[in-house]
A and B are shown apart, each in its own frame.
Chain A
Amino acid sequence: MMRRRELLAGTALGLALFAAPAGARTIAGALPWQPDAGTPPNQVMPGPWKFFTADEGAAIEALVDRLIPPDPKTPGGKDAGCALFIDRQLAGPYGSARGLYMRPPFQEGTKQQGDQSPLTPAQRYRKGLTALDKHCRDAFAGKSFAQLTDAQKDDIIGQMEKGPLTLEGISAAGFFEQLLKNTQEGFLADPIYGGNRDMVGWKMIGFPGARYDYRDWIDRHNERYPLPPVGIGGRPEWNPT
Chain B
Amino acid sequence: MTRKLPAKDAVIIGLGWTGSILAEALTRAGLDVVAIERGPWRDTATDFPTTYAPDELRYRVRHDLFLRPAQETMTFRNNSSQTALPIRSWGSFMPPNGVGGGGLHWNAETWRFLPSDFELKTHLTQRYGAKALPEDMTIQDWGVSFDDLEPHYDKFEYLCGTSGKAGNIKGAKQEGGNPFEGARARDYPTPPQKQPYGPTLFAAAAREMGYHPFPQPSGNLSQAYTNPLGVALGPCTYCGFCEWFGCGNYSKASPQTTLLPVLVRRPNFEARTLCEVSRINLDGSGKRATGVTYVDSSGEEWEQPADLVLLCAFQLFNVHLLLISGVGTPYDPNTGQGTIGRNYSYQVTSSINGFWSDKNFNPFVASGAIGYCIDEFNGDNFDHGALGFVGGGYMGAVMTNGRPILGTFLPKDTPNWGAAWKKSLAENYLGAYQFATHGSCYSYRDAYLDLDPTYTDRLGRKLLRINFDFHPNELKMSQYLTDRLGEIVQKMGPRQFDKKPRKGPYTITDYQTTHTCGGAVMGADPKASVVNRYLQSWDVPNLFVTGATSFPQNAGYNPTGTVCALAFWAADALVNQYLKHPGPLVPA
Residues of A within 8 A of B (CB): 1-4, 6-8, 10-12, 14-15, 17-18, 21-34, 37-41, 66-69, 71, 73-74, 94, 98-103, 105, 107, 109-116, 154, 157, 161, 180, 183-185, 188-190, 193, 201-202, 204-215, 217-219, 221-225, 232
Contact = CB atoms under 8 A, between A and B. Distances in A.
A73 B423 CA distance: 10
Contact of A2 (B40, B195, B460): B460
Interface string B410-438: 00000011110111011001100000000
B41 A27 contact: yes
Interface stretch (B56-64, B114-122, B182-190): B56-64
Contact of B296 (A18, A24, A225): A24
Contacts of A114: 76, 85, 87-89, 91, 507-509
B86 A103 contact: yes
B229 interface: no
A100 B69 contact: yes
B416 A212 contact: no
B239 interface: yes
Contacts of B41: 25, 27, 32
A74 B426 contact: yes
A21 B57 contact: no
A215 B196 CA distance: 11
B402 A102 contact: no
A40 B51 contact: yes
Given A28-B269, A188-B405, A67 B57 contact: no
Nearest to A111: B507
B422 A68 contact: yes
Question: Which of the listed residues A15, A37, A40, A218 has the most CB atoms from chain B within 10 Å of its own CB?
Answer: A218
Contacts of B295: 2, 7
Contacts of B239: 211-214
A39 B421 CA distance: 35
Nearest to A185: B405
A150 to B, nearest CB: 10
Given A66-B417, A68-B421, A110-B82, 4 more contacts: A18-B58, A24-B272, A27-B270, A69-B419
A206 B298 CA distance: 47
Given A31-B260, A184-B405, A207-B429, A212 B237 contact: yes
B298 to A, nearest CB: 6
B194 interface: yes
B contact patch SS: loop
A8 B299 contact: yes
A7 to B, nearest CB: 5
B238 A215 contact: yes
A33 B47 CA distance: 10
Contacts of B40: 21-22
Given A29-B265, A29-B267, A204-B425, A225 B417 contact: no
Nearest to B423: A71
B55 interface: yes
B46 interface: yes
B404 interface: yes
B419 A26 contact: no
Question: Which of the listed residues A25, A114, A217, A219 has the most CB atoms from chain B within 10 Å of its own CB?
Answer: A114
B85 A107 contact: yes
A25 B40 CA distance: 9
Contact of A109 (B82, B264, B458): B82
Question: Which of the listed residues B71, B194, B269 has the most CB atoms from chain A within 10 Å of its own CB?
Answer: B71
B274 interface: yes
Question: Which of the listed residues A17, A94, A99 has the most CB atoms from chain B within 10 Å of its own CB?
Answer: A99
